[in-house]
Amino acid sequence: MPLHPPTPRTPMAGALALLLSVALPTLGAEPSPSTAAWAYADGATLQSAFAKEEISAQALLETLTTRIEALNEKGPTLRAVRALNPEALAAAAASDARRRDGASLGPLDGLPVLVKDNIETRDPLPTTAGSRALLDNYAEEDAPVVAALRAQGAVILGKTNLSQWANFRSNDSVSGWSSVGGQVRNPHVLDRSPCGSSSGSGAAVAAGLAPLALGTETNGSIICPAQVNGIVGLKPTHGLLSIDGIVPIAASQDTAGPMTRTVADAALMMDALAPGQAFHQQLPRGIAGTRVVVARFAAGEDPRILARLAQAEAWLREAGAEVVSVDAFEQPLRALGGESFTVLKAEFRQGINAYLARAQGTFRGKTLADLIAFNEAEASRELARFDQDIFEASEAIGPLRADEHAARVARLREAARGGTLDALLEANNAALIIAPSGPLAPPVDLVNGDVWPAWLGLGSAAAIAGYPHLTVPLGTIEGVPLGLSFLATAGQDALVLRAGYALEQRRGPPPRPAFHPTAPVSWGPPE
């Protein structure tokens, strides 16, 4: 049934408020090709078009709004966008005025950006984390990551749907589902998981609803939805970007990051988010002479995926990289999974209590215990798809014990860094690691929750280590996207972007979503 809109902080007359239902949608196809031409353009193409007056920022915004109306609530009903920003049109008009006056703020000026709905913006849009408890949680200020993009002229188009509470409420959660936004759908194959928790950001960028989006990650929440939706996602070095104004899970791992269709656009976003590092300017340097480890031990046995990995190796060799394969490797983190989960639960309890204490709106609960009680009282909506056992386990942990917690975090980081990623790099005299970004997305399962194949790649090691992790599209298998991961040590964000860019230049354009209702399995050879 349709959800009621949040009570606005300010009047929204004439604004488009997107209200998404939980009911299963009807299917549809790509709207007018004339809108798709601009919808899939990258940042450089759009800036060139602005300069040549082929399209204005205001006209682009109107084009994307029309596209969102056609794909988000109608047709394939992606439910990727939770709400549009009623102030976006004025921001786009201001960008056009700056350009006419020769006062552009930079390469992001006029480009629309969608923001995950656990990141605060000062627009008349609440930050809900997908929960009805925060339907009127209006922030007075932008989160620093949003402020950095806005300072360069980016237009905040709206908020994206997400896995409720960033996939940290239940062990049986359904990625991409929230009680506020409904179920995000993967635009490539509509019955496949969009992964999470940055589900809406990944699906929206893939479907041409915006060229740029912000996601967040604690452990896989940028990389997984980027990979399964066939786009670029960067989890930066932990601590490079501020996490203020973001609904927390664990301060020791949380970060925001760009989700885009090209590596160049991810670099442009990073130039704004972490000024002074010239990420975009470094891309042409390439990776000639760079030694790269192929983590075959983390690639599984699917011959279709292994064939794509072999093609990626060939492209990197063409770019001048030296490639070495590692077929066997003991991963010490596997024995510490319970300890990692304990860290997340303890930090979540502390962090969410602090966040709720300052949250705005009518929800008067100020602790995780209050939130658990709210969900129980609103069970028909909040607990409609799955329970809240992670919430309950986090509350049961009690107050964080500083010495014990610090020792646990240190053990995990040593296993992820010295025991895994650093060990691979040092043993092979290498600077980069590549691996599949994850398995092929399974169908959405509203009965059993997320049921994934055996995991591929080294995403958890990068998340726990706090090291940069980039995923770049590597084509599709039976219509389902596959991504390639680039990993390096702390502070090497520019290196992973350069490597991803080098591969992207040889791969050619990634496939556009076809909005297949289900995977068109041919059982033939890899595409």
Residues annotated as catalytic (active site), given as ranges: 116, 197, 221
3-state secondary structure of 393: helix
466 Cβ partners below 8 Å, 6+ apart?
Answer: 237, 238, 239, 252, 253, 413, 490
83 neighbors 159 (Cβ within 8 angstroms): yes
Q: Residue 404 CB: number of other CB atoms within 10 A?
A: 11
Q: Residue 451 CB: number of other CB atoms within 10 A?
A: 12
Q: How large is the greatest C-alpha to C-alpha distance in the chain, in angstroms?
A: 62
Read off the tokens for 11: 């009047």
Q: 41 - beta bridge partners?
A: none
Burial (CB count <10 Å: 0-12, 13-18, 19+), residue 335:
exposed
- Distance CA(351)–CA(370), nearest Å, equals 14
**Tokens 């960033």 belong to which residue?**
166
DSSP one-letter code for 448? T
- Distance CA(226)–CA(156), nearest Å, equals 20
Q: Phi, psi (5° rounding) for residue 438?
A: 165, 180
Query: ω into residue 179 within 30 of 0, thus cis?
Result: no
Nearest-10 crossing angle of helices 43-51, 263-273: 80
- How many residues does the structure list for the chain? 527
- Distance CA(124)–CA(119), nearest Å, equals 13
67 neighbors 34 (Cβ within 8 angstroms): no
Q: Residue 14 CB: number of other CB atoms within 10 A?
A: 7
DSSP letters for 157-219: EEEE--SGGGG-S-TT--TTEETTTEE---SSBTTB---SSSHHHHHHHHTTS-SEEEEEESS
